Structure 1
Amino acid sequence: MLKLKSLPVLLFVAAGALSASAQDAQTLYQDFQHPGQPYRPRVWWHWMNGNITKDGIYKDLTWMKRSGIGGFHVFDAGLSTPQVVEKRLPYMTPEWKDAFHYAIHLADSLGLEATIASAPGWSETGGPWVKDEDGMKKLVWRQTEVKGTGKALKVKLPGGFDITGPYQDYCYVNQSVATVFLQKKFYRDVAVLAMRIPNNDKSMMELNPTITTSGGTVTAEQLGNDSISDYSIIQAEKDGKAWVLMDFHQPQLVRSVTWSVLKIEERVENCAASLFSSMDGKTFTKVVDLSYQGGFERVEDIPQTTARYFKMVFTSTEKNNSATGFRLSSLKLSPVVRVNLLSDKSASSFYRYGTSVKTPATTDVVNTADVVDVTSFVKDGVLTWKAPKGRWRIMRFGYGLTGKTNHPASPEATGLEVDKIDPVAIRDYYKNYLQTYVDASKGLMGNRGITYLLNDSYEAGAQTWTGKIVEEFKARRGYDLLPWLPALAGIVVNSAEETERFLFDWRTTIGDMMTEYHYDQLTDILKPYGLKRYTESHEAWRANATDGMDCKRSADIPMSAIWMRYKQGLVTVPQHESDIRESASVAHIYGQNVAAAESFTSDGFRDGAFVYTPAVLKPTADAAMASGLNLFVIHTSPHQPVDDKVPGIGLGLWGQWFDRNETWASQAGAWTDYLARSCYLLRQGKFVADVAYYYGEDSNVTARYQTRMPKFPNTYNYDFVSPSIVKDVLKVDNGQLVTATGMRYRVLWLDNVSMMSIKMLRRIKQLADAGVTIAGDKPKTLVGLDGTVEEFDSLVKDIWGSGRKNVTTGVSIGKVLANTGVAPDVTFSDAKANIKFVHRRLNDGEIYWIANQTKQARKFTASFNVTGKKPQLWHADTGAKEDVSYEMVHGRTRVTLDMPAYDAVFVVFVDDTDVPAVTLAERARTAFAEFAQPWTVRFQAHRGAPSQIALDSLASLTESSEQGVKYFSGVATYTNNFKVAKKSLKKNAPSRILLDLGEVKDLAEVTVNGLPVGVVWHAPYIIDITAAVKAGDNKVEIAVVNPWHNRMVGDMQPGAETVTYYPIKYYKADEPLLKSGLIGPARIVGER
């Protein structure tokens, strides 16, 4: 067991301190205008299925450099990408290594940061060099019932399940998993245990009901045995429902249902079921509705019901259900209680609420004192044992392989995922893996060349065993695991309450081992190579038994993900907000100061394909920054090996497609500048938060807040804190919570704490005794077998029931902060608008980032908790800054902000002032010059459009009757002229001459009189052309770019000449087109 608890706390203290170094205002602004490589977005560079060329590598990387990208994360992936090169370069062949060496040396020469993934594919840590015994493991069991007579008996035990698959003997079929790995046979014994069977506990075979179905034959033996692969097909009726009717021949008590239903197509069915009961077989009453929401076998306790007949009705809940029936693997109606939602509680699967649903109290239990280890009496699969009188259950526990492979790797790079809780196997895995990259890069690794390794989101599935887990459990929890193994098979041990407490310990043990061995240990593994790491964890819901903050704590750059939701019309969703805030909280507390995110990922069918432009992406980017992101890692920039196929190949159906073949690739620098400038300022100083937001044990942030973020006032801010942070990292200073990295919190808020371990409760008491303000929920139930219920109740009473002034419950966060005397960090006069802020504190200044996250323009007054400093507005899209009117009142500074839809601005306080108020004159804009007519439009070649057209008036190109224009995608250059009198530039000349383009779809690169003026990429499409305007004739060229979408739709028209190439066809001929081109009205205005 690794001793790593102190490591994450100390790792990044120095880095955090350095980031807060004071900067004079001029240097701060210069670096903001021209942010360096550390702040620039990275991209995910996917090499797809051996489609690799050096020519493509050179063009990809030089485009990245020109476009202001700071580096790349390179992946080798498969996804059945078709071959588009003359010769594939399979993974790690000499030819592949040669190309990789070329890429790394070129990247080094260009100053691009290079990162490798932690495995071929994107998830997680696996490859063809992983031996069977080092693969991910699962606990399996077989049961045999015997009658003891007090004399020796011989029992041939059923063989342990050696089938490779995620649960018991269930094996994936027709899945995207290499068949060779599913054919492996692997089994090792753990223990053979004997236990008395409670009197009421009878199997389906003993109850022996007569069974009829809606179609198909099934037996009690098949429904009641341990096998998942032993199934029957139950045909559905015309309404799509299938049913199973069980006649028990006499009234039968039922307290739990265990069931497993899969589709005929042999995968887990999204299925609902309802159980009905009847005494006469004619009139049925619904007992309960059940839902198959996780795991390969569902165990649910139901309202205690006695009836002769029970009928289970199955209904598909899949969106596009075409099932004609269901594979029924198990259906066990039991007269005793089983562990409720067993698969979730045993860590065999992970469902959001599974661990919070309790197992009902029962007396039909197995006592640990009565569990007999009879392993030593087994030889060659035969148990010879003198069994005492009575009914005994013999359980043979062992372990096999889950069969999970790294994905989506090319075939040559696919192998077993390594055991995530075996430290030796993990070290061996990385020793082999990293050596291949030492060879491929010819040693260019560490300070130069390959500098980082990335752990992508965890998608390797559950693991429930490893070779030394019995010893690990004893060392960590302080008691023996073996007598409790029956609970992992659904049997209630000692009592329902104690079983639940044990299962908490079980999940915690697996989670702690994975955190320490798969994540924390990696820091030491990488050190000899000079590598640092990015780390994602869950990304969504609960991917494993770990806490996401703990997984990221020792990473050099904690990382998250944010997806696009274009078709749904959503800027973001709580799943991504919570993931980003988790990473940002880690960066604040442990001191990395950088929180990255896989950014703008999209499912082309669900979210939209080839529709993304900076204007579309910006609201989501701003939402990410509002949650704490300050380094973008753009998903994805696939390697384009050839030039004659555009937009080319990609990561299957996933985008966003940000590479050199993107229509706006040449204008991408304006977008990356915006991201880099924003990230630069969002890394200065220290994040300001008043609340440490604790989210409870035995879960993770993205599971807790998958569908709804915490209800938190938008006038304060907060960091998430994990159980380990509360116990091991936070200290108390004058009643406030502080960290070694300089964070300071005024309130500890407790959420999701109805269940709490005794160690956490003891820590809460310590904090309460030290004067920390504690608010939110209070615990009700003890989890874990450490401690007693009596101590738990006494501590709860002491903390919440003894009249402490610093401990409250049932009061909102805002009121708690106000009662504690904490002034709002910022307030907004438009209180109901969705306005977000981030506050960074410098040694001698304050930076506030304000984002209008609404579709409407907003004008409002913001009141900042700052005084004595002059505010300025700094604009990340242009790099410009400007003074602003302000008023200092009662120790605060008021600033009125007039923000367009989805706008964001920095309000920077760095210059001292004793002037309490400044009112600036409002600027007025009037017409300055008129465009001539008509407009000339030149079209990018080889895009299916004519070379040029003339337009008498501006409108969307999609309104054209010319098919090549209507379906055009790419660069359309609009040319026009205007005249300026000499006197207009002299006496009473405007302070600025602006080109207002009106509506643009989607970017515009402007040139005036041959001088590049800049790129405008979001509304309002206004650009300053003052420096380029001259007296007399002026020529304007406006290169307008729209995305690939319209041309892809055009290629689907009957008889169309194909322009685009992409392996997946996202659109049909009737897909609505997106507006395109310069729509206007275009005006030239003077500002005074």
Structure 2
Amino acid sequence: MNTIISRIQPLTVVCFMLYATFFFGQQNNKKLSLKEDFKNPPSTSAPGVYWYFMDGNLSREEMTKDLESMKEAGISNLIFLEVGIGVPRGPVDFMSTEWQDLYAHAVREAERLGIKILLGAGPGWCGSGGPWVTPEESMKHLVYSETEVKGNKKIKVKLPIPEQRSTQWHNLKDPYYEDFAVYAIPNSVKPTIKDINEKALYERDPYSSKPNVKPFLPDPIGGSNLDGGKILDHADVINITSFMEPNGKLVWKAPKGDWTIIRMGKRVTGASTRPSPEPVIGLESNKMDSVAFKNHLANYTDILLEKTAPRKEDSGWTGFHMDSWESGAQNWTEGIVEEFIKRRGYDPEPYFLTYTGRTVKSTEITERFLWDLRQTCKELVLENHVEFAKKYAHRNGLELTIEPYDMNPAGDLDLGAIADVIMAEFWSKRFGYVTWYAVLEATSISHITGRPIVGAEVFTSSNKQAWQEYPWSMKDQSDWALALGVNRFIYHTFAHKPLGDEYRPGMTMGQYGVHWDRGQTWWPMVQAYHKYINRSSHMMQQGQAVSDILYLTPEGAPMVFTPPTDALEENGAIPDKKGYGFDGCSPKMLMDKALVENGKIVFPDASSYEIMVLPNFQSMTPALLKKITSLVEQGAKIIGTPPIKSPSLTNYPESDDEVKLMAQNLWGSMQIPNERQDRKFGEGMVYWGGNLTDLNADELYPSYLNTTELLGQMNITEDFSSSNDHIRFGHRKTDDQDIYFVANRKDVFQTTKCSFRAEGTPELWIPTTGETRMITDYSIENGLTIIPMEFFPYESFFITFSKNSNGKKITTSNAGNFEKLTNLMTLEGSWQVAFDTKYGGPENIVFNELQDWTSHENRGIKYYSGIATYKKTFEMEGIDDKKYFIDLGKVNDIARVKLNGKDLGVVWCAPWRIEVSSSLREGANELEIEVGNRWINRLLGDQQAPDANVRKVKFNNGLLGEKEFTTGRYTFTTEAAMRSFKFKEPLSSGLLGPVQLIKN
């Protein structure tokens, strides 16, 4: 090296040294900057809330208090929605002048406080509509009626108008009807197509909540799906539209035979602004027509944009939000025939009778037409609704956020990929639907598009929740979401509190939601949990996600991505990924952006993948197969079997020949081998046959186990593992750091060895406190860093690996990674305890020893909900420079610790201790511990004598319809919130201890 440097000109040496100093300085600065952010995380990663208003129950003054309480609690963003659920109507009609003024007030106040508002695309939560949407511009179906006649004579018959199609989700009736065509077909041809309502887009039920809804429809060339019966040929169909009079009377000389007359026409789907405030109940706008969407916005957001101008860019109204897709499907829009011909290359009209469930020409041709229909409708939705929404948002200085699930007929991944910020939704693991797949979809979209934010509507809850959730009960699921990649938490739900602080818990969103609002007992302490989420979210926004496996979904719509069953650790509503990360990818995403670099499939400025797994389908369009062939030729590695046909009628039958030719070229054979075959093609590899192929399997993909066995043979080790398999993980990578999030999945203390597929200087970053420390006890084996770790129940850490310029391992002999603590004293004896008399507790009382509030003989304590303050004095001698902690033992449910007048912070999770070194002193020490529990106890007490039904509550300002309510002595909430309240006994509450002073 010295010889080489001696040959370099002095100026060059100086430049080289300056560059090296600059480069390594930059890396250190980045690391220091991230550490500073970790200690004091920025508001850009702080959590948000759904701010729900209940059908006209709005108060200007209380809106300000809501927003101020959010700011104090560490909330930086919100989604503004109004619904009609479970409460009497209030005095402020949606979109009235008063309502608009209140919305403008909210925007101005949010700007003052630095809070971002995202406004939903329409009233209610499910879409974009209202009473201003005309039937002509609403979502429509092509519907039909059938009349049987005998021929060989002149027919005079009144044809019934086809009925509007309705589901339990879409039943807003409307008389609108417009004829399309009338056909006569042989009576012998009967409906035979199974699942025609799904295949012809009459219905798309919620995958999350309705049994037996398919994540995707079967391969259109996958074999017969008929109950039997005759097939309709084009020559059998007679168009008799011209023989029907305007009043629906058919006058037609029918040929010999028995005929079925099919009258086809257009009607609304019945999708409405569900669950809308009453004044704006109306039809959903046409999701395939940008003009219809534009006209909806003209009656809604255009007005509000003018009302709130001028607006700030970094706070106030900054976003346009499309919530979970609950408008269902439609199969008609004006101009669909022309659009179909332009996109698919043939006239669809001869096949419209498939809508009736009849097979036209053949089973496969019918299925392929229906595939083309769904694909055309998908493209129209994406272009004319979602892409239009994005352009509209950007034109008005807003970002677009989308939850692309749950009744989406256009494909979740493709719809969500259009968003500026993709969002998922997950329900509380104990109180709601199972929607983990929506999180996998949203994180996949983020990883493939490179957009750093993955938002989620979190802890949505059903009517069984009843104030049971609180920060500690939610930590396990919070960490699950973080590990998968969610890094913007938006809590469902902060219900607006128009009744004020006097009436608590106050108004709720009916019986739904986790009640994440200022009416909560523990709200003054929730900021500590929010800071944990903020800090962790910021870390999970760094760099790019690390994944190994890319699962390609089949072509077509609808489409919900679900991985192989064995790719997830079974864990109820929150299954965890195993040691190899994976993502789902749609064909459109692959064709639009996928490249190959160094043998990996990469997406520009996004994630990269070692291998791609094809779906277990026999069909593939020539365009997709051409893309896959190109990727393999450039070095990509894939698992899958060769397709044999196209799923579409476009360019049929030549398209099938094209697919077969390309497949033969890529796979080398169309005969699936009994043993696994590894085929070299160009620079890449194709793996198929043996245990990687099972065409009779129910699974869409080969098993995760077999795929990862192959990765192991390719010397690609698991990204993460633990010796007891009870630790979940997430992995991000920046230019100079690997960042792992690891969390205990169990409610028990455990020690384990964790293996990381990363090298460098490891550090332990503690997200509950913001503290960082070097890891000194570790080893490196075969490219894996192995670290012995210990976890308290549901405890979590970040492990970072920084590039080390000298390549040396930093180690300290006989040093562990975790503090070893010694108990100095247990604070036994009596405590002074003060309760809030507004909720029935005594102002001052002595506890001779720590005890559960529910076991106390005083009813005001047994049924108390709120915050109580414990005080105690203890003596301390011989303080050294070690760290000192107060360990609270057992707490129900959250606590704030003060020592000698200094607020040391909130303890909300295991290990239930807090450092007190900065305020501990020699001699007497005054300890104060505020403890908060949940509302359940006081609500239960208010249902029992002598506190039951002692008050009459009525609001003369129009709130809650000025109805009179009978309620308990201390609490008041809306009736719907109490319908699920089934508690017979109060929940364990208070400081139970033992409280100990400990040091390291």
Query: Could you tell me the TM-score, scaled by structure 1's length?
Result: 0.79
Q: Deviations over 1:892-940 (max 9, x none)?
A: 3221111122221100122625333625524432232342520111112
Contact 1:41 1:71 in 2 (8 A): yes
Equivalent residues in 2 for 1:904-983 (5 A)?
904-910=796-802, 912=804, 914-916=807-809, 918=811, 919=813, 921-922=815-816, 923-931=819-827, 933-981=829-877
Alignment partners' CA distance in 1, 2:369 and 2:105: 54
SS in structure 2 of the partner of residue 621 of structure 1: helix
RMSD over aligned Cα atoms: 2.6
Alignment partners' CA distance in 1, 2:645 and 2:475: 45
Q: Deviations over 1:1045-1079 (max 9, x none)?
A: 12112222233252221213146675243211111
Contact 1:714 1:835 in 2 (8 A): no
Alignment partners' CA distance in 2, 1:1026 and 1:45: 40
Q: Which residue does the alignment assign to 1:195?
A: 185
Q: Which residue does the alignment assign to 1:288?
A: none
In the superposition, relative to structure 1, how do residues 506 and 1069 fare at CA in structure 2: closer, same or farther (>3 Å)?
closer
Q: Deviations over 1:48-70 (max 9, x none)?
A: 12211122112111111111111
In the superposition, relative to structure 1, how do residues 337 and 120 fare at CA in structure 2: closer, same or farther (>3 Å)?
closer
Query: 1:74 deviation in Å?
Result: 1.1
SS in structure 1 of the partner of residue 896 of structure 2: strand
Q: Does 1:47 align with 2:37?
A: no
Q: Which residue does the alignment assign to 2:21?
A: none
Q: Which residue does the alignment assign to 1:441?
A: 308
Q: Which amino acid aligns with 2:900?
A: N
Q: Which residue does the alignment assign to 1:582?
A: 441
Alignment partners' CA distance in 2, 1:146 and 1:105: 67
Contact 2:121 2:322 in 1 (8 A): yes
Query: 1:546 deviation in Å?
Result: 1.0
Query: 1:793 deviation in Å?
Result: 4.8
Range with bigger deviation, 476-485 or 364-373: 364-373
Equivalent residues in 2 for 1:637-652 (5 A)?
637-641=494-498, 642-652=500-510
In the superposition, relative to structure 1, how do residues 725 and 126 fare at CA in structure 2: closer, same or farther (>3 Å)?
same
Q: Which residue does the alignment assign to 1:344?
A: 198
Q: Which amino acid aligns with 2:410?
A: T
| Pick aligned residue for 2:638 from 774, 778, 781 | 774
In the superposition, relative to structure 1, how do residues 939 and 755 fare at CA in structure 2: closer, same or farther (>3 Å)?
farther
Identity of aligned residues (%): 31
In the superposition, relative to structure 1, how do residues 843 and 959 fare at CA in structure 2: closer, same or farther (>3 Å)?
same
Alignment partners' CA distance in 1, 2:648 and 2:187: 25
Q: Does 1:134 align with 2:45?
A: no
Q: Which amino acid aligns with 1:724?
A: K
Q: Which residue does the alignment assign to 2:487?
A: 630
Alignment partners' CA distance in 1, 2:471 and 2:86: 30
SS in structure 1 of the partner of residue 283 of structure 2: coil
Q: Which residue does the alignment assign to 1:1077?
A: 990
Alignment partners' CA distance in 1, 2:265 and 2:203: 18
Q: Does 1:121 align with 2:17?
A: no
In the superposition, relative to structure 1, how do residues 823 and 700 fare at CA in structure 2: closer, same or farther (>3 Å)?
farther
Query: 1:499 deviation in Å?
Result: 1.3
| Pick aligned residue for 1:698 from 547, 556, 561 | 556
Alignment partners' CA distance in 1, 2:633 and 2:151: 57
What are structure 1's unaligned runs of at least 5 residues? 1-19, 202-335
Q: Which residue does the alignment assign to 1:508?
A: 375
SS in structure 2 of the partner of residue 807 of structure 1: strand
Query: 1:469 deviation in Å?
Result: 1.4
Q: Which amino acid aligns with 1:375?
A: T
Q: Does 1:112 align with 2:95?
A: no
Contact 1:22 1:842 in 2 (8 A): no
| Pick aligned residue for 1:533 from 400, 422, 439 | 400
What are structure 2's unaligned runs of at least 5 residues? 1-25, 205-212, 570-575, 670-676, 693-705, 949-967
Q: Which residue does the alignment assign to 1:58?
A: 64
Q: Does 1:398 align with 2:265?
A: yes
Alignment partners' CA distance in 2, 1:368 and 1:551: 35
Q: Which amino acid aligns with 1:430?
A: L
Q: Deviations over 1:938-973 (max 9, x none)?
A: 112311222232212222211112222111111011
Equivalent residues in 2 for 1:284-323 (5 A)?
none
Q: Does 1:653 align with 2:511?
A: yes
Contact 2:192 2:227 in 1 (8 A): no
Alignment partners' CA distance in 2, 1:769 and 1:630: 36
Q: Does 1:815 align with 2:739?
A: no
Q: Deviations over 1:608-646 (max 9, x none)?
A: 221111101111111111221111111111111122210
In the superposition, relative to structure 1, how do residues 392 and 704 fare at CA in structure 2: closer, same or farther (>3 Å)?
farther
In the superposition, relative to structure 1, how do residues 434 and 1069 fare at CA in structure 2: closer, same or farther (>3 Å)?
closer
Contact 2:460 2:512 in 1 (8 A): yes
Alignment partners' CA distance in 1, 2:527 and 2:765: 19
Q: Which residue does the alignment assign to 2:741?
A: 849
Q: Which residue does the alignment assign to 1:216?
A: none
| Pick aligned residue for 1:364 from 227, 230, 233 | 230
In the superposition, relative to structure 1, how do residues 883 and 532 fare at CA in structure 2: closer, same or farther (>3 Å)?
same
Q: Which residue does the alignment assign to 1:373?
A: 239
Contact 1:937 1:974 in 2 (8 A): yes
SS in structure 1 of the partner of residue 81 of structure 2: strand
Q: Does 1:457 align with 2:460?
A: no
Contact 1:404 1:416 in 2 (8 A): yes
Contact 2:115 2:315 in 1 (8 A): no
SS in structure 2 of the partner of residue 355 of structure 1: coil
Alignment partners' CA distance in 2, 1:746 and 1:703: 19
Q: Which residue does the alignment assign to 2:102?
A: 99
Contact 2:761 2:809 in 1 (8 A): no
Q: Which residue does the alignment assign to 2:88?
A: 82
Contact 2:159 2:249 in 1 (8 A): no
Q: Does 1:860 align with 2:739?
A: no
Q: Which residue does the alignment assign to 2:34?
A: 28
In the superposition, relative to structure 1, how do residues 702 and 964 fare at CA in structure 2: closer, same or farther (>3 Å)?
farther
Q: Which residue does the alignment assign to 2:718?
A: 824
In the superposition, relative to structure 1, how do residues 90 and 445 fare at CA in structure 2: closer, same or farther (>3 Å)?
farther
Query: 1:78 deviation in Å?
Result: 1.7
Q: Deviations over 1:1011-1040 (max 9, x none)?
A: 011111011101111111000000111001
Q: Deviations over 1:520-571 (max 9, x none)?
A: 22111223211111100114xxx13211111111211100101102369xxx
Q: Which amino acid aligns with 1:697?
A: E
Contact 1:359 1:500 in 2 (8 A): no
SS in structure 2 of the partner of residue 683 of structure 1: coil
Query: 1:726 deviation in Å?
Result: 2.1
Q: Which amino acid aligns with 1:454?
A: H
Query: 1:485 deviation in Å?
Result: 1.1
Query: 1:781 deviation in Å?
Result: 6.8
- Aligned residue-pair number: 898
Contact 1:1052 1:1069 in 2 (8 A): no
Contact 1:871 1:907 in 2 (8 A): yes
Q: Does 1:617 align with 2:495?
A: no
SS in structure 2 of the partner of residue 816 of structure 1: helix
Contact 1:136 1:418 in 2 (8 A): yes
Q: Which residue does the alignment assign to 2:971?
A: 1060
Q: Does 1:998 align with 2:889?
A: yes
Contact 2:423 2:454 in 1 (8 A): yes
Range with bigger deviation, 403-412 or 55-64: 403-412
Alignment partners' CA distance in 1, 2:543 and 2:983: 52
Contact 1:154 1:382 in 2 (8 A): no
Query: 1:800 deviation in Å?
Result: 4.0
Alignment partners' CA distance in 1, 2:800 and 2:599: 30
Contact 1:750 1:778 in 2 (8 A): no
Equivalent residues in 2 for 1:521-920 (5 A)?
521-539=388-406, 543-566=407-430, 575-605=434-464, 608-641=465-498, 642-699=500-557, 702=560, 704=562, 714-776=578-640, 779=643, 782-786=646-650, 787-788=652-653, 789-800=656-667, 802=669, 804-805=679-680, 806-809=685-688, 810-811=691-692, 812-830=706-724, 833-867=725-759, 869-884=760-775, 885-910=777-802, 912=804, 914-916=807-809, 918=811, 919=813
Query: 1:493 deviation in Å?
Result: 0.9
Contact 1:602 1:654 in 2 (8 A): yes
